[in-house]
Amino acid sequence: MSSSSVFLKVLRRLSVAERIQLVEDLWDTIVEDSPADAFPITPELAAELDRRLAEHEADPSTAIPWEMARARISKRIRDAGKGPAVSAGCGSGRGPRSKAMYPIVHGRVRRHLLRRFPYGLFYVQYPTEVVILAVVHGRRHPRAWPSDPGA
């Protein structure tokens, strides 16, 4: 028996809640050690972020307040059990606490890796607001994202 299978056998003795916490803790170490590898910007993701940013800049009135975006995201996570496939659409307002502390990963787009494994929040910071372009599950292809930001 390999050492990894022995290790897994021991881990299976943990409760489901303990295993979930272990996965989240392990995810945090990956993010800390190598954030670019934890959530790479694929060409498809880059194109979708560009499309959403251009759509917002063409009509900023399509943005929704951060509180509403956050409520929609939370509801999707609760309803799906594991979380949404993607997309908060565009939201604006007070977003991530320290907006400039997260890295720019594509053009002007910043990425905040969320504790709820494996989601990334992509946003653009303006002088008076933050526009959230997407909340993305790291293993979902952008073609699977809802086309309607409010969906």
Q: Render pLDDT for 85-107 as a digit per residue (tens, 0 to 9).
A: 333 444 444 444 455 678 888 99
Measured CA distances, 124 to 43, 96, 99, 129 (Å): 18, 11, 9, 9
Beta-bridge mates of residue 91: 64, 132
Contact 45, 73 (CB under 8 A): no
In the chain, where the domains are located? 1-33, 39-144
pLDDT reported for residue 92 = 45
Predicted pLDDT at 47: 92
| Cβ 139 vs Cβ 124: under 8 Å | no
Residues of the chain with pLDDT under 50: 83-97, 148-151
Looking at residue 142, its pLDDT comes to: 60
Are 30 and 38 contacting, i.e. CB atoms less than 8 angstroms apart? yes
pTM: 0.63
Amino acid at 60: P
